[in-house]
C-alpha cells in the first residue's frame, strides 16, 4: 500500500506550523527589533512550545533565513522558466523582478523584514551568505542557457553577481525610502545600466 498520501499530509502539517512560526517571528522582529525579541515570545505568539520551535529552526536567525531562501528559490526558478532565446539582461531582469514582485504582494511585512535584515549586522551577514548560494545557482542556470562550461567561463558568475548587485541596490533604495520608491522602476533603471555589459558578445568569453 502506498504511503504517499500520509507523507503529503505530514508535509502539509509541517508547512503550516513552519509558516505560523515564521509569520509570528517576522512580525515580532520587525516591530521590536532583532535583539529585543526572545524565542519564548515567538513561541507564545505562534502558540507552540520551545521544543516545537527547535524542531524547525536552530535560532532566531534561521527563521529569517527561511524568508531569504524562498526569495532565492523563486529567482532561480524564474530564470529557468524564461525563453531560451531571450537576451541575458532581459532574462535576469525578469527573474529578479519576480522576487521583488513577491515582496510587493506583502509590501508592509516585506518592507519591515527587509529593513530588519539590512539594519541588523547578524542578519545582513546571513543574507550575504545566502546570496553566495543564489549566485552559484543563477550562474549554473546561465551556463546551461548559453551552453557555457561553468568551470571555465567567466560570464555566468559575473552576470549573476551583477544581477544580485542590482537586486541589493533596489532593496536598499526601497527600504531606505520606507517603501515610497517604486522597486519596479528602480530595477528597470538598474538593468538599463547593466544591459550593455550583460548582452555584449565578449560576455561569453572563457578564462
Q: pLDDT, tens digit, for every residue of 152-189?
A: 999 999 999 999 999 999 999 999 999 889 889 999 99
- Do 17 and 48 meet the contact criterion of CB atoms below 8 Å apart? yes
- Cα dihedral 112→114→119→124 (10° resolution): 150
pLDDT at 207 over 60: no
Rounded to an integer, the average pLDDT of 32-53 is: 90
**pLDDT tens, 188-205?**
999 999 999 999 875 444
Taken in order of first residue, the domains within the chain and their CATH numbers are: 1-57 (1.10.10.60), 60-199 (1.10.357.10)
pLDDT at 1 over 50: no
Interatomic CA distance for residues 180 and 163, integer angstroms: 23
User: What is the chain's mean pLDDT, rounded?
Assistant: 86
- Do 42 and 131 meet the contact criterion of CB atoms below 8 Å apart? no
| Angle between helices 121-146 and 107-119 in degrees, nearest 10 | 110
Give the angle subtended at the CA of 113 by the CAs of 59 and 111, to the nearest 5°. Answer: 175
Q: What is the pTM of this model?
A: 0.80
Amino acid at each position: 500500500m502506498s504511503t504517499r498520501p500520509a507523507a503529503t499530509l505530514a508535509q502539509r502539517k509541517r508547512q503550516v506550523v513552519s509558516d505560523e512560526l515564521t509569520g509570528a517571528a517576522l512580525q515580532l522582529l520587525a516591530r521590536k527589533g532583532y535583539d529585543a525579541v526572545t524565542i519564548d515570545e515567538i513561541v507564545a505568539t505562534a502558540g507552540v512550545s520551545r521544543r516545537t520551535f527547535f524542531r524547525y529552526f536552530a535560532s532566531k536567525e534561521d527563521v529569517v533565513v527561511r524568508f531569504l531562501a524562498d526569495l532565492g528559490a523563486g529567482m532561480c526558478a524564474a530564470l529557468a522558466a524564461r525563453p531560451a532565446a531571450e537576451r541575458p539582461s532581459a532574462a535576469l531582469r525578469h527573474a529578479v523582478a519576480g522576487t521583488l514582485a513577491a515582496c510587493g504582494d506583502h509590501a508592509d511585512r516585506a518592507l519591515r523584514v527587509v529593513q530588519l535584515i539590512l539594519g541588523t549586522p547578524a542578519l545582513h551577514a546571513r543574507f550575504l551568505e545566502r546570496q553566495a548560494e543564489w549566485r552559484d545557482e543563477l550562474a549554473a542556470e546561465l551556463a546551461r542557457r548559453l551552453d557555457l562550461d561553468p568551470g571555465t567561463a567567466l560570464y555566468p558568475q559575473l552576470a549573476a553577481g551583477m544581477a544580485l548587485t542590482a537586486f541589493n541596490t533596489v532593496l536598499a533604495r526601497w527600504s531606505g525610502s520606507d517603501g515610497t520608491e517604486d522597486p519596479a522602476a528602480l530595477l528597470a533603471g538598474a538593468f538599463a545600466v547593466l544591459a550593455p555589459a550583460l548582452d555584449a558578445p565578449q560576455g561569453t568569453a572563457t578564462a
